[in-house]
Amino acid sequence: MLPGLTKRTNVPDNACLKTPLVKFKKGAEPPMSLDMPFVSAMMQSVSGEKLAIDLARQGGLAFIYCSQAIDKQAKMVQAVKAQKLRVGAAVNTRDFKERIPALVSAGVDVLCIDSSDGYSEWQKDVLDFVRKNYGESVKIGAGNVVSEDGFRFLADNGADFIKVGIGGGSICITREQKAIGLGQATAVKDVVAARERYFKEKGIYIPLCSDGGIVYDNHIIMALAFGADFVMMGRYFARFNQAPGKLVNRDGKQYKEYWGEGSNRAKNWQRYDSDDVKKQAFEEGVNALVPCAGDLEPYVQQTLYKIKSTMCNLGSTTLKEFKTNARIVPVSSVGILEGGAHDVLQVK
Ligand code: MZP
């Protein structure tokens, strides 16, 4: 990415990371925003109540996973709300008529449909249920999609935000197994263009969340530069003490368990719309380990600072300005090599 003119006022303290979470009409303020442009993934190995509480204390938002009994998920939501913090929750396209009322009664702030492929009539059923029973008072995101027709289907059916990405997750093998999906940068770029066309046509801005394969801070920055409003991350959060995975010692190093919702371990057949067989015919995710990073707080704070610092390089004080100012250029294989430390013996 090319830098723009950094003005004297472009210092991290002046950079604002506020970003819209749910749709709004042209000229209006979004009814719900995020104070940081990332949320935690709706996964058993990521968003339990501990991580949800600690992330919310930093001003962030977790989406509690739905691949568990309804009462357990509702209890997790209540535990976060008991601390007077904000929390999101996932729902599936199967038991939503029971799950959504339980989560709403528990005080959930925002819902999101959890599915590997969001371009489906089942997602419409969930969105219709919410609008019919709660009007606009309950906010719900949908996804995931990677194309303009997928985006339009969910937008026209009332999604409050839309998640973009299929097959890019660090634990995901959907593309290997079924050849479904699209490179994450291309997917975000295409759906952002679709969203801009939709905004011009209908005057409704629908926030987009880039989900899957956003592992490092520079990935978050690039997703935002491509036009995403926020990102959802699994691997990033799974490495912290607060994530539900157990600590594992391997060759003297500490790791945290991290498993995909499409793995046999997660048993989340609802996410893959495997009809009524109540099991998955084959895995779309893996069971894995990630190096343990310790406590969430310093990493989240450093990530936020890096995003602000990049905004300053581009002469931006808001994320909206940052997206407008972003000039993304292709990188050659030589460019990638020289982008890291090279031709030196690094001393640890
Ligand atoms: P990552 O942040 O680890 O790269 O990716 C996390 C995202 O991968 C989740 O938010 C979800 O959309 C997706 N996911 C979760 N489980 C699987 C799977 O088992 C998966 N295939 O692809």
The residue whose CB lies within 8 Å of the most ligand 1 atoms, and thus the one to mutate among 261, 272, 289, is: 261
Q: What is the pLDDT of residue 144?
A: 98
pLDDT of residue 348: 85
Instruction: State residue 306's pLDDT score.
Output: 98
- Taking CB atoms and a 6 Å cutoff, what residues make up the pocket around ligand 1? 41, 43, 169-172, 174, 211-215, 232-235, 260-263, 284-285
What pairing do the DSSP bridges indicate for beta strands 24-25 and 230-233?
A: unpaired
> What was the pLDDT predicted at 101?
98
Beta bridge partners of 63: 88
Flag whether the pTM goes above 0.85. yes
Residue 280 pLDDT greater than 90, yes or no: no
| Cβ burial, residue 300 (10 Å; 0-12/13-18/19+) | buried
Helices (H), the chain: 49-57, 70-82, 96-106, 121-134, 148-156, 174-178, 184-202, 217-225, 235-238, 296-313, 319-325, 333-339
Write out pLDDT tens, residues 265-276: 998 888 986 665
Query: Which residue from 144, 163, 170, 171 has its CB within 8 A of the most atoms of ligand 1, so it is best to mutate?
Result: 171
> Average of pLDDT values for 154-175?
98
Pick the closest to residue 162 from 113, 96, 106, 110 (CA basis). 113
What's residue 20's pLDDT?
98
Q: What is the pLDDT of residues 94-144, one digit of tens each?
A: 999 999 999 999 999 999 999 999 999 999 999 999 999 999 999 999 999
Which protein residue's CA is at the shortest distance from atom 8 of ligand 1?
A: 169
The catalytic residue positions are 172, 271
284 exposure class (CB count in 10 Å sphere: 0-12, 13-18, 19+): buried
In this predicted structure, what is the pLDDT of residue 269? Answer: 86
Q: For 202-259, how does the pLDDT look when each residue is reduced to its tens digit (9 = 90+)?
A: 999 999 999 999 999 999 999 999 999 999 999 999 999 999 999 999 999 999 999 9
